[in-house]
Amino acid sequence: MQDLLNRVGGEWRESATGRWIDVEDPSYGTVFARIPDSSAADVDDAVRAARTAFDTGEWPRLSVAERAALLRRLADHLEARVPELTGALAQDTGTAAKLCGALQVFGPVVNLRGFASMEDLLAAPTVWDQSGPAGDGQWRVTREPIGVVAAFVPYNFPLYEAVWKFAPAALAGNTVVLKSAPTTPVGVQELAKAAEAVGFPPGVLNVVHGDADAGSALAAHPGVDFISFTGSSGVARKVMAAAAANLTPVMAELGGKSPAVVLDDADLSLAVRGTVFSSMIHAGQVCVATTRLLVPDHLYEEAVTAAAHYADLLTVGPALAEGTDVGPVNNAAQLAKIERIVAAGVAEGAVVAAGGRRASKVAEGGYYYRPTVLRDVANTMSVARDEIFGPVLSVLAYSSLDEAVAVANDSPYGLAASVWSQDEERARQVGDRLQAGLVWINDAGAIDVARTPLAGRKHSGVGTELGPDGLYAYTLPKSAWASHGKGAQAAAYGMMLHPELAG
């Protein structure tokens, strides 16, 4: 069993409490590591280290090019360790090994380079001349780092999401305190180790492990200048409430109940296969997963049959076992939640077409649920409205395109959506009507971090991650005016008050 440690100002530390939290391998329910059960005192140490690095350290004063170069070195370092990290993160997250390398490790490597490629957005100020009756001058707008960023990382993609927060924040010149999820701390730990190895200055990347006590203290800390949170809307409300006392701004990327709208001219096999992939990958623990499949009435039976067939093909097993397609869900509480919501859906009238139960005869002690397809689902049912975060796909029928759009939008969430049609322009027109921050046409899962902003609607988020907007979220603009007329603007307005103020 390994002990993971907090990273504070260049030092690896246990918690001041002396307490530890066990970390389970979800494939077997066995403990393989432990993390410090950090307290408010540990959080305070980490925030002060980040503050010192920001206020007096070299990081904010390096050029953007120098910071981008270190992000690229970080990407190279992680890429060289893909096989090693794949095994560690498969054990930590439960992601099937055949997908874990690409999803949990190489994806973050590509993303680091994508964020580094945005350096030109910060490298030069925006400048323009302005003239008027009060005199001539020049405006200059620069982007400055905000300060100390507190970043809350979810359990489903720990290294991926840590990169999504740390890379743009660091590129902009901020220092960061990362709070790991207590059930999947390995990705955050490995990022901190890699940052140390490639030469990030002490205090630029700090890590605090722990549970609710550490999270609450970080959200409420007056030394934090900006919070980036990914997780459930329920926890986000608590974070935002704690941050409000200090007027700390919060950016939150939250849950989804994303629709896949199949039009009547779609390649139905492609649409169903793509949606099953989207809803079942990583045991359904993906915020942008398309978990509501909307199909025209006359194609409904064919779609349900196909979806159930593809779901039944998937092999459930331990993350590192050869042949596993779908690994375990991450923890016992999540498995119980999936069971509870599916049972509620069946009680409301949904019918199980595939799965609908825990997976038996897998690995003793693991948290396994069969890939599940539910038919006869109405959009008022819990299985259509609640984010299940498990391998569960609900199939709904519609009679007109207007009804399909209305059903797709009738959700508390608005994160992602897909539209399937052989007429791409028609599909785009439907996509434009959907209340979602990310829309795929005849696909699912694509994201370009350097170009495509992600801004969830409704309960799916506050603010924008990724793309130029996501980078600018970690900055504050500074506007500066230089008068070519030696104070002509002030003199002109001063004359209105008293002639002597005009000079």
Q: Residue 502 and residue 487: Cα distance in Å, rounded?
A: 9
Annotated active-site residue in 24, 119, 161, 253:
253
* Burial readout 479-498 (b: 16 or more C-beta within 10 A, e: otherwise): eeeeeeeeebebbeeeeeee
Sheet holding 461-462, edge to edge: 11-13, 6-8, 205-208, 175-179, 148-152, 226-230, 250-253, 461-462
Q: Residue 344 and residue 338: Cα distance in Å, rounded?
A: 10
Q: Which amino acid is at 499?
A: P
Q: Which residues contact 394 (CB under 8 A, 6 or more apart)?
A: 291, 292, 293, 345, 350, 374, 377, 381, 383, 384
Please report, in angstroms and rounded to a whole number, the separation of the first and last CA atoms in the chain.
Answer: 76
Catalytic status, residue 253: yes
Answer positive or negative: Cα dihedral of 351, 414, 212, 328: positive
Distances (CA, A) of 42 to 9, 45, 211, 404, 450: 12, 5, 12, 50, 34
* Chain-centroid distance, C-alpha 500: 58
Q: At 250, phi and psi to the nearest 5?
A: -125, 130
Q: At 465, phi and psi to the nearest 5?
A: -105, 155
Are 417 and 427 spatial neighbours (Cβ–Cβ below 8 Å)? Answer: no
Locate 9 and state its tokens: 């100002």
What is the SS3 assignment for 398? Answer: strand
Q: Residue 309 and residue 373: Cα distance in Å, rounded?
A: 9
Query: Known catalytic residues?
Result: 253
